[in-house]
Amino acid sequence: MSSPSPYRAIFAAPGSRAFSAAGLLGRMPLSMMGIGIVTMISQLTGRYGLAGALSATLAMSAAVFGPQISRLVDRHGQSRVLRPATLVSTVAVAGLLICAQQGAPDWTLFVFAAGAGTVPSVGSMVRARWAAIYRGSPRELHTAYSWESIADEVCFIFGPIVSIGLSTAWFPEAGPLIAGGFLIVGVFWLTTQKDTEPVPHPRQQDGRGSALRSGGLQVLVATFVATGAIFGSIDVVTVAFAEERGHKAMASLVLAAYALGSCLAGAVFGLLHLKGAPTKRWLLGVCAMAVSMIPLQLAGDLPFLAVALFVAGLSVAPTMVTTMALVEQHVPRAKLTEGMTWTSTGLAVGISIGSSAAGWAVDGMGADAAYVVPVLSGAVAAAVAFLGYRRLGRPAPTRGGHDADERHHQDGHRLA
């Protein structure tokens, strides 16, 4: 065997294993908290409407606070910003659990659910560390982003199963409680690792300018809103589809097939040495995601649905990885963490929209016909991608005079 695996090669950088592991723990709540709140509230009160509304409140709150927290990180550094934000979020989660357990008025639950949205975008923090280490090395950065995409999918395969399992087998509040524990451990472990922390850019921030001023980022975020609607609607419709066939418990396994397809595709994608402009790969990926929704309408049983979702998942991770590469091209370096978080925000908003639309569709048409929602969401994503494709051909201008200093700083850490 000649050269080592590209994945093994990227972890040769000092500190990379530790911050990636901390990032994996810290982003587990991304897939555990929302479904954990739904499970907890439905068990304690039997009110699915309230459960869904609280989950949507959490998602929208995270969509509002996430980019602002990341903007502060770009200015002041990860360690100074992430710990207080995480403490606020975990205190709010604790308040939510106590109020739910004690049967407090509904408005208190909404207040604490909104407060829990101050959770930082841990995946963006980890990707920013990879970008600082391998800036100027597209091959290694591509592999690193692919690795983090795999970590995302691992969270989405196991997180909901762990969260639902704990809340049903142990006590109703167990899922969100353990999710909060993962967040605290992951963030505090990550922020102790100062050597790999990207250098903040306090002087380069103009105070009011947002990364979202970039035309290219606007296209990516708009596309990700529609992409999020695909994910949100698939989750809701698949649970209803399984329930209509008398196997509601199988829904998590069927959805795991979707994440597994994405996970495997991400792993292979990271091994490829790709050349040429990433914009064409991105457009192709978005269109593939859209087309892969069509067979879901033909699914008559759960095994066929699982296979169709596995195949649909194959286009997800490569598209996500390419998106992160494009964010790095279109956002000034001093605002990279914020830029990456805006894409996550677009997904979160889209998931809320898709979940709501799918719920209405299931109630009105039944689960089989409701798969039209992810089909339409995919069509919108492809249309936005086509319309905005030209704007992605114009990368951000030079990112400022601190680049040489930053590269020198990061090289010093790499050699240390």
Say whether pLDDT at 231 is over 90. no
pLDDT for 119 equals 84
End-to-end CA distance of the chain: 30
264: Cβ–Cβ under 8 A, 6 or more apart, which residues?
A: 314
Q: Give the confidence band of 287 by pLDDT, cuts at 50, 70, 90.
A: very high
Say whether pLDDT at 83 is over 80. yes
396: Cβ–Cβ under 8 A, 6 or more apart, which residues?
A: 214, 216, 329, 330, 331, 332
283: Cβ–Cβ under 8 A, 6 or more apart, which residues?
A: 385, 386, 389
pLDDT for 207 equals 45
pLDDT for 203 equals 60
Tell me the C-alpha distance between 82 and 187, whole Å.
7
Mean pLDDT of 289-318: 90
Tell me the C-alpha distance between 317 and 267, whole Å.
9
Neighbour-count burial for 43-68, b at 16+ CB within 10 Å, e otherwise? bbbeeeebbbbbbbbbbbbbbebbbe
Mean pLDDT of 253-265: 86
pLDDT for 377 equals 94
Extract the tokens encoding 281: 């790969």
Range among 26-40, 159-173, 291-305, 383-397 rated most confident: 291-305
pLDDT for 393 equals 64
Q: CA quadruple 204, 206, 211, 215: dihedral positive or negative?
A: negative
Return the ∠ at Cα 339 (arms to 335 and 340), rounded to 5°.
125
Q: Give the confidence band of 209 by pLDDT, cuts at 50, 70, 90.
A: low
Nearest by Cα to 58 from 84, 80, 35, 74: 35
Say whether pLDDT at 401 is over 50. no
| Summary mean pLDDT of the chain | 80
210: Cβ–Cβ under 8 A, 6 or more apart, which residues?
A: 67, 71, 335, 338
DSSP codes, 178-198: HHHHHHHHHHHHHHT--TTSP
pLDDT for 382 equals 93
What is the set of domains in the chain, with CATH numbers? 16-145+159-200 (1.20.1250.20), 211-399 (1.20.1250.20)
Q: Rounded to the nearest 10 degrees, what angle do helices 316-330 and 278-291 cross at? A: 140
